[in-house]
Amino acid sequence: MQLIVTAVGANPTDMIEELSRAVKESRCSVEEARMTDMAGDLAACFMVEGNWNHVARLETSLEALASRFNWKLRTHRVEETPQEQPDLIPYSVDVYAADQPGVLNEVVSFFSLRGIRIHDVAASRYDAPYSDSPLFTAHLIVKVPAAVRVISLRDEFLDFCDHANLDAIMEPIKR
């Protein structure tokens, strides 16, 4: 059985240590994890796996930790792991632009409206060197069905980026 856990709270280092200890003590395994310090708080999302009683033990210990440390915590049981479609090709998409409202939504919508599965998104805003102008960057992993003509998709995406004043790269992931 798999359990997805999202958590937000203060003291990032302590929180990572407490969460990982709870997983270890419940005899579950971390399948995947993303944790980052955001403005001094930790935002964590991870998936653990274990048999049903170990997952139940973890849920109970996470509730106690959330109460004790005043964390916002949510869990979601994944009963059945969906099988990955074998005909999906992973592509890396990197987008750079002057920061403006809605950039991430526009990029995500481009792929979503074409039935392209978005597997991973990491985005941030930072100040440009020398000018301190606010810039936006996003890195996406998308999974393109083998039936989609990638050359046409890439051309459409680059045209979209030209119209939206975005600089972007879309290329297959090399292993």
DSSP label at residue 85: P
- 110, 160: one domain: yes
Give the pLDDT confidence score for residue 11 in this predicted structure.
84
Contact between 119 and 141 (Cβ < 8 Å): yes
Question: Phi/psi class of residue 130: alpha, beta or left (left: φ > 0; alpha: ψ in -120 to 50)?
Answer: left
Q: What 3-state class would DSSP assign to 51?
A: coil
- 124, 144: one domain: yes
64 falls within a domain: yes
CATH number at residue 16: 3.30.70.260
83 falls within a domain: no
**Token pair 């995947």: residue:** 32
Q: What is the model's pTM?
A: 0.78
- 119, 65: one domain: no
Q: How many CB atoms lie within 10 A of CB 125?
A: 10
Give the pLDDT confidence score for residue 79 in this predicted structure.
76
Q: How many domains does the chain have?
A: 2
Give the pLDDT confidence score for residue 65 in this predicted structure.
92
- 68, 24: one domain: yes
Q: Which runs of E-coded beta strand occur in 56-102? A: 72-78, 88-98
21 falls within a domain: yes
**Token pair 């959330």: residue:** 66
Q: Which of 20, 50, 78 is the last residue of a domain?
A: 78
Give the pLDDT confidence score for residue 81 in this predicted structure.
61
What span, in angstroms and rounded, lies between the C-alpha atoms of 133 and 140?
23
- 53, 108: one domain: no
CA-nearest of 13, 35, 82, 28 to 59 is: 28
Give average pLDDT by consecutive 10-residue segment, the chain, 175 residues.
Answer: 93 88 95 90 93 94 93 89 75 94 94 94 91 93 93 95 95 87
Q: Which of 56, 78, 100 is the last residue of a domain?
A: 78
Contact between 167 and 93 (Cβ < 8 Å): no
Interhelix angle 150-164/103-112, nearest 10 degrees: 160
Range of the domain at 99: 88-172
Q: What 3-state class would DSSP assign to 11?
A: coil
Contact between 8 and 72 (Cβ < 8 Å): yes
23 falls within a domain: yes
